[in-house]
Chains A and B, each alone.
Chain A
Amino acid sequence: MTQKNRIDGGLIDRNEPISFTFDGRQFEGYSGDTLASALLANGEKLVARSFKYHRPRGIFTAGSEEPNALVHLRRGAYLEPNTRATVAELYGGLEATSQNFRGSLKHDLMAVTDVFSPLLSAGFYYKTFMWPKAFWEKIYEPIIRSSAGLGRLSGEEDPDIYDKGYLHCDVLIIGAGPSGLSAALAAGRSGARVILCDEDFRFGGRLNAETFEVSGMSGTDWAMETIAELAAMDNVRLMPRTTIYGAYDHGTYGALERISDHLPTSGNKPRQVLWRIYSKRAVLCAGSTERPIAFGNNDRPGIMLAGAVRTYVNRWGAAPGKRVAIFTNNDDGWRTAHDLAAKGVEITAIIDSRECAPLSAPAGAAIIMGGQVVDTKGRHGITSITLANGQQIETDCLAVSGGWNPNVHLTCHQRGRPVWRENIAAFVPGGDIPTGMMVAGAASGELTLASALKQGHKTANSVVKDLGFKPSRKAVSKAEDEPVEVSAFWHVKASKSRAWLDLQNDVTVKDIKLAYQEGYRSVEHLKRYTTLGMATDQGKTSNIPALAIMAECTGKTIPETGTTIFRPPYTPIPISALAGRSRGKNFRPMRLTPSDKWAKEQGAVFIETGMWMRAQWFPREGESHWRESVNREVKQTRNSVGICDVTTLGKIDIQGRDAAEFLNRVYANPFLKLPIGKVRYGLMLREDGIVMDDGTTARLGENHYLMTTTTANAVSVFRHLEFCAQCLWPDLDVKMISATEQFAQFAVAGPNSRKLLQKIVDTKFDISNKAFPFMACGEITVCGGLPARLFRISFSGELAYEIAVPARYGDAMIRALMEAGEEYEVVAYGTEALGVMRIEKGHAAGNELNGQTTARDLGMERMVSKKKDCIGNVLSERPGLNREDGLSLVGFQPVDRKLELKAGAHFVAKGNPANTENDEGWMSSVAFSPIHGHSIGLGFIKRGHERLGEIVQAADPLRSRNIEVEIVSPHFIDPEGERLRV
């Protein structure tokens, strides 16, 4: 197809034509085009349907503030909805489709909602769907949901890759328009480290859209020359296609860089990168956004912001219309007329709302001063406008200018409030902007080119000087100050038709008035009641006119009415970019045990425990159910010997002259007299008397201890100990370091464990029961001199040891242990068998140390020494924690042995209804005991230790179960601990 509206000039490369499709139709544009400019060049006006009323909509702006021209870009899994055509860079083979309609874009069946618009005013669903009540969930909500939403997702996993990154600079310059470039030059020349970001793919901002001159050359040429100078500086990083979307604490900014959105494919590289930029200072040069004037049917395709019309003509050589009318309340609108006329576009009329002398105008244009557009015509594109005096003017494009709003958004991200400036009838940055941020150019309210250049230069020089750099002596580039007079004029009161404020959410002037009538007068309430300023554009073109109308209604001034809070992101950020590479298995790191490779060779089934991957059980051929494997592992361990990788338990190396005193204070039970070569079980309380963690601590030397923690609490216990050492008792000489990763540690459990280890431990070390009794520990050597540590401790309840070697020998060690154990038919056991055996033995674990239980609940009250002080000692005495009818940890077994116990069931006395009033405790851990041949459990029940033998209900209403269980001792095997000591 021909580009029928393509005109001369522009910053496009006509030697590089690009084919693309829109709604399946083939078009052609040029390199340097956006999708919007290429569509306009091809004469396409209708590009979208509005959200609520499905009104035909066209391109309204030339930037990221676009409310209308949202399209689906790409296809299949790559499809991205709500892409703004105005910022989508054209590439070969681009596929865009329109969105938000049923049927076709031109004949949208949902346009019927426009007919019913009188019934669908602001807040209609709050009022309309009140009754009958039962209809809400089944009828109303499904209908509303099926109609709601902008665009559609592919429903497939996003195949693109995304990344994050961290940048640092002295000066971050946000925006590369005239003030930004001027600031970057000044800062860069001083030698400061500068990052210059702009959301556009071409630096220059409005210089690319206007016909201004800077330092005797065209603005565009000046921008290119400036960029070339900046690019040659090592200390300056140029980041086009990068939006600074948020201003956070301490000079930190969020940025989204679109790396390959302008290319047909990302080439298996990140499509976008989310940067965190740490800056010492930031200069906000975000420019300004033009705002519309509201009048009847002002939403038709072909009605555009005047600055955007100028941009399409000057930058992209695309005429939005052939016969253009202009409606303005300021001098800027007149410049549109001149620029268009210079490119041969006919100007039919200039309607200026101000009652003043006209400015110079192109020949042939009708000039109407004090005029107002009250209505427009043309279903799929504007064909004529009607003025207040009834005059009708034919036009195919209406350029509207209601003045310019400085882009203050980032100045408000830390709750700063903008202030009103009367001479430009707009909000400008207030005093409480983010620390380290300065504002220059149009964003500060300085709307002319010369002042923007000057202010950018001056601000940057002041910033670099503040940072200790010497500002360059080079003078600022010169330009003329263009006229920017404006008179506040927000909407045409004489319009009888609907006048649109928020094009994206179909909010009209009438909606604002209705919200006022119904009491929604705060701008925050107004926003939520009418949906004004929501969705992808966040009301960049609509907020100010809307709150001006609210101010009219309330009789307040605009500054008294105020704005809503601007929050990040400035423009939409894809969720995928926020996720970055943290997707799927890369969501978090994975920790592997030293025996991981060997366990995989054995076909182990793994389970995530925190970040660790632990072997859960080791299935063997012929075993069809996990419990078969686990039963075998338990039985063989109890009958002979089993080996389990317990490296994941936290290990903390503690040294110092006061290490014993330190341990005595952090543990509830005494540690001052633990002999060298011995291990002691330790119970650690929180300050509030609740149990924090348990474990063992071995004394390896006079001033040297090794503490073990549970796997889950390895980090939190270490942090707690550091806090105690650094903040509570800095006078103690105690140093600690994590040794969890340093040692591969294996539990060797079962009656044959000693015999097995005697084949591994070097013979000079006697590990007989007499020489190395229960709770002994020592530094030994194994396999011919390898340093190791041996602990005679048991979690399984059997004769057991834990042997530790440097982690690099972990793989060799598991293989050696298994080989040495062959004659005893040794088994490897996983976490499941580990859990079964500890429940059989009655050991508390994470399920029991859940942050709610006390030493008394666990039956360990006598461990809390009253002869010394320790963390948690005092508050463990609280009456509430020591009630007569307090909880006790006991065992449970089903009365009907065939039934399976479930953790989480609550105990209720026999005969009582199962409700919260009768709740007496809960089942914390359950297992199938292969030794007993039935399900067993541990749990907490009131006065449990006095109730052994009693039958209670284990109520489990969530799983619709209620079974009878008998309260028994928590020690299902070897209650006297004889096996441990053989």
Chain B
Amino acid sequence: MSDFTMVATAPLDGYAKDFDGVSLAEITNRAIISIATPAGGEAHLAKAVKSAFGTTLPNIGGSQSSTFSNGQFLGLQQGQTFFVFEHDAPNALEIVAEQLKDAAYLSDQTDSFVMLTISGKNARLALERICLIDLHPDAFSIGRVARTSMEHLSVIIKRTDEDTFFLMSPRSSALSFLHVLETSIHNVT
């Protein structure tokens, strides 16, 4: 038995706050695994995903849900999908690898990002100050995913509901990202 206990810390210590018409909260119980498609292995991977997770891989800019740990596949770029699912322990890679075996190149990205949800009737108004892409429901409907940047920080954004967005940004600059979001919320509420 080790003499040392390793306790995980969240990038924002589990931040959650309500503002006028906006709620902002850190998500801490999700794992992120990057799934890269081997050259020529598209069909093999699609089959493996279908078999293991009961769904298909999304197109770039789209997402697919899975009943596997309430998972979401995010289509980010050619040959790269992120699988985001409910999982707390540091063995997420092992779990997905067991499912997909050699069908994909996997990389644990859980600790690479801070994850937040921003929701409420003023959420879009706040994002308007920092998000370059068009978040109008006609242009960015529920389930859509995009890589973008906000105040020089790279961000992955997914619309999860009419007024709810899931955001991922690099972990090391999590405090700056929080500041960016809080400033935007302050400026519009």
Contacts and interface: CB of A to CB of B under 8 A. Distances in A.
A591 B172 contact: yes
Contacts of A812: 4-9
B143 interface: no
Contact of A589 (B40, B136, B173): B173
A168 interface: yes
A339 interface: no
Nearest to A733: B39
Contact of B151 (A589, A759, A786): A589
B128 A165 contact: yes
A739 B188 CA distance: 35
A655 B110 CA distance: 18
A657 B171 contact: no
A807 B131 contact: no
B110 A806 contact: yes
A742 B128 contact: no
A481 interface: no
Contacts of A313: none
Contact of A735 (B79, B133, B171, B173): B79
A165 B38 contact: no
Nearest to A612: B172
Contacts of A592: 172-175
B21 interface: no
B172 A783 contact: no
A460 B111 CA distance: 50
Interface stretch (A25-33, A770-778, A813-821): A813-821
A740 B2 CA distance: 27
Contacts of A647: 172
Given A611-B173, A653-B107, A819-B4, A165 B112 contact: no
Nearest to A163: B187
Given A589-B151, A737-B36, A741-B170, A656 B105 contact: yes
A807 B171 contact: yes
A784 B1 contact: yes
Contact of A742 (B3, B36, B109, B184): B109
Interface string A776-811: 000000111011000000000000000001111111
Contacts of A590: 173, 175-176
A20 interface: no
B41 to A, nearest CB: 8
B187 A166 contact: no
Contacts of A163: 129, 183-184, 187
A701 to B, nearest CB: 10
Contacts of B113: 741
A582 B130 CA distance: 12
A735 B9 contact: no
Nearest to B79: A735
Interface residues of A, number: 62
A760 B3 CA distance: 8
Chain A residues touching B, majority SS: mixed
B90 A591 contact: no
B80 interface: yes
Interface in A488-502: none
B179 interface: yes
A590 B153 CA distance: 10
Given A590-B173, A655-B105, A762-B2, A809 B90 contact: yes
A586 interface: yes
Interface string A270-282: 1001001010000
A738 B112 contact: yes
A815 B110 CA distance: 22
B107 A806 contact: no
Given A737-B107, A741-B111, A741-B172, A589 B7 contact: no
A673 B6 CA distance: 36
Contact of A193 (B136, B174, B177): B136
Contacts of B129: 163-166, 273
B52 interface: no
Nearest to A582: B151
A589 B2 contact: no
Given A647-B172, A742-B109, 14 more contacts: A611-B173, A703-B105, A732-B39, A735-B38, A737-B34, A739-B107, A741-B111, A741-B171, A787-B90, A808-B10, A810-B9, A811-B9, A812-B7, A819-B4
Interface of B: 1-11, 34, 36-40, 79-80, 90-91, 105, 107-113, 128-134, 136, 138-139, 151-153, 170-177, 179-180, 183-184, 186-187
26 contacts: A164-B129, A165-B128, A165-B130, A166-B131, A278-B134, A588-B152, A589-B152, A589-B177, A591-B173, A647-B172, A731-B39, A732-B39, A733-B38, A733-B39, A735-B80, A738-B112, A741-B172, A783-B4, A783-B6, A786-B90, A805-B6, A808-B11, A810-B9, A812-B5, A812-B6, A813-B6
